[in-house]
Chains A and B, each alone.
Chain A
Amino acid sequence: GNSVTQMEGPVTLSEEAFLTINCTYTATGYPSLFWYVQYPGEGLQLLLKATKADDKGSNKGFEATYRKETTSFHLEKGSVQVSDSAVYFCALADRGSTLGRLYFGRGTQLTVWP
């Protein structure tokens, strides 16, 4: 079956620290992988995505590389800001997924202190 495992939060960092949020997946094929971010009181926004192995998605200083050999899609940012405080969801859509169904990880709460 399809599933996504995210590192357990919460994650608390000081401003300008390096961020890694781990995400590994199980899928029947070669899925598309997504990172969504949810700011307090808001809906989900696509942060970045990768649709094939070795692709790197990037946006707003965040990056994630689709690693088929380790079935991973870890999110990284070199220097976090207070405004990055949010919940981050890793998700996949499998080739056989009906109507692009997304499988979400549990979410990781990130808090950045000034």
Chain B
Amino acid sequence: DTEVTQTPKHLVMGMTNKKSLKCEQHMGHRAMYWYKQKAKKPPELMFVYSYEKLSINESVPSRFSPECPNSSLLNLHLHALQPEDSALYLCASSQDGTRFTDTQYFGPGTRLTVL
């Protein structure tokens, strides 16, 4: 099973709302990633967790707050977002991130619209 699941599939929120995106994998992977993808662009890396520890933060604004409660779950907490944050948010996982030959497996994404 090489599936990464993400919920919700779509999310519409106002600029004052607080919401969360959820990602789950059961492949025993120990590295998990959040990406942001704007239309007609490649994914941009936001955060990387390795063994449940935040290892990379690509200077993402603090209105995005990641959390890795356990090795299978990854959350992205959203607060006070701006309309320009509207995008497809993709989660991915890989074995443990130590081998450059490893494949990253992507989820289907959450389409976020900020009004």
Contacts and interface: CB of A to CB of B under 8 A. Distances in A.
Interface residues of B, number: 28
A100 B42 contact: no
Given A42-B108, A98-B55, A100-B104, 15 more contacts: A34-B103, A44-B92, A51-B101, A87-B40, A89-B42, A93-B100, A98-B48, A99-B98, A100-B31, A100-B97, A101-B45, A102-B45, A106-B42, A107-B42, A109-B40
15 contacts: A32-B101, A42-B108, A42-B109, A43-B90, A43-B107, A89-B42, A95-B100, A98-B55, A99-B31, A100-B97, A100-B98, A100-B100, A101-B45, A101-B56, A106-B42
B34 interface: no
Interface of B: 4, 6, 31, 40-43, 45, 48, 50, 55-56, 90, 92, 94, 97-109
A97 to B, nearest CB: 6
Contacts of A25: none
Contacts, number: 65
